[in-house]
Amino acid sequence: MTAQRIDGNALSQKLRADVTHRTAALKSKGVTPGLAVVLVGENPASQVYVRNKVKACQDSGLYSVLEKYPENMTEEALLARINGLNNDASIHGILVQLPLPVQIDAQKVIEAISPAKDVDGFHIASAGALMTGMPGFWPCTPFGCMKMLESIGYDLKGKHAVVIGRSNIVGKPMAMMLLQQNATVTICHSATKNLKDITRQADVIVAAVGKRNVLTAEMVKPGAVVLDVGMNRNDEGKLCGDVDFAGVEQIASYITPVPGGVGPMTITMLLVNTLEAAERTVI
C-alpha cells in the first residue's frame, strides 16, 4: 500500500479562501481583522517566519503590522508595547515571535498578551481553555493537524492516537485536541521506553520531536495515519520531517509530507484565529 498524501498547501488554499471571504464580510461591517507581529532581534529564521505571516495576512485581506525591535530591547519596554497593542482597537491578534533574546522572559511576555488577542494560543488562559473544553484560541500547529484529519473525514472516536513530543506549543495541546475528539491518547517523550511498541499500536501518530527518522516503517501499524510536524535538515541541507517518509509511506494509509504538510497549515490557522478574534468583537 502507498499512503495518500495529505496536501497542506492545497488544504491551506481552501481554508484561506474561506478566510478571505469571511474577512470581506467583516470589513463590510466596518471591522478589518488586524494582526500585530512583534519581532525582537535579528534571528534569521524568525525574520523569514514573520515575513511569511505578515504576507499571508495581507494576501487574505487582513491588516497586519510588523513591529521590529533591536536585540537589546528591555523586557520592560516589550511589556509596555504589548500593553499598547492590547489597548489598540485595530489589532485583534498579537503574535510575539519566539525565541526572544535572553534578557526577556518569554513566558512573562506571553502572559502579558490579552487572552482575547492570544492568536498563537500560548497564554496560560488559552491552555486552560483547551484543557477544560472552553472557548479560546488553539495553538496553530496542532490545530492545523486537526484540520488535516478533518479533511480526510477521519473519525477519531475510540481510535488510539500516539503523540511523540510533549512541548507546550505542539505535543501537549495536540494530545488535548485528540482527546477532545474521543481518541485514546498516549503521549511519548525522550524518556519513553520501547517507543516502537507504543507506536505499533497506534491508529494515528503525530511526530513532533525535531529529530530525523524518529519514526520509521517498522514502528508503524499498516494503515495508520501519520502526521509529521518535525522540521529538520537532511544531509543535503533539504527540509525534512521526523518521519522516514519513503519507508512509512509504504505502510501508512495517509501521511503528511515535509515540506508541504503541516508547515503551511500553521500559518493558515494563525489567519483563522486572527479572523475569529476579530469576529468575536462584533458578535
Which residue numbers are catalytic?
A: 53, 97, 120
191 binds ligand NAP (CB under 6 A): yes
Which residue in the set 190, 201, 234, 281 belongs to the binding site for ligand NAP (CB under 6 A)? 190
Q: Which of residues 193-232 bind ligand NAP (CB under 6 A)?
A: 195, 208-211, 214, 229-232
Q: In what order do the strands lie in the sheet with 34-40?
A: 63-69, 34-40, 93-96
One residue of 262, 270, 271, 275 binding ligand NAP per CB under 6 A: 262
Looking at the Cβ atoms of 68 and 211, the one nearer to ligand NAP is 211
Nearer to ligand NAP, 211 or 221 (CB): 211
Beta bridge partners of residue 68, listed in sequence order: 39
Cα gap 89→151, rounded to integer Å? 34
**Site map 130..149 versus ligand NAP, x via CB under 6 A:** -----------x--------
Distance in Å, CB of 24 to ligand NAP, minimum: 27
Instruction: Report d(CA 32, CA 65) in Å as an integer.
Output: 13
Task: Answer for the pair 20, 234: CB distance below 8 angstroms, yes or no.
Answer: no
Among 15, 50, 109, 164, binds ligand NAP (CB under 6 A): 164
35/96 Cα distance (integer angstroms): 11
Closer Cβ to ligand NAP, 26 or 100, answer by number: 100
Q: Please state, in angstroms and rounded to a whole number, the distance separating the CA atoms of residues 177 and 168.
A: 13
Q: How far is the CB of 209 from ligand NAP (least distance, A)?
A: 4
CB of 71 to ligand NAP, least distance (A): 22
Grid cell 505578515 is found at 54
Q: Does 188 bind ligand NAP (CB under 6 A)?
A: yes
Please provide residue 78's backbone torsions phi and psi, each rounded to the nearest 5 degrees: -70, -40
CA distance 224 to 255: 9
Q: Rounded distance, CA 243 to CA 18, Å?
A: 31
The residue among 13 and 190 lying less far from ligand NAP, judged by its C-beta, is 190
Q: Which residue has the cell 506549543?
A: 169
* 240 interacts with ligand NAP by CB under 6 A: no
Distance CA 206, CA 226 (A): 6
Cis status, amide bond into 44, omega within 30 of 0: no
Task: State the minimum distance, in angstroms, from the CB of residue 50 to ligand NAP.
Answer: 14
Q: Binding residue for ligand NAP (CB under 6 A) from 167, 180, 181, 216?
A: 167
Sites of contact with ligand NAP (CB under 6 A): 141, 164-167, 169-171, 188-192, 195, 208-211, 214, 229-232, 262-263, 266
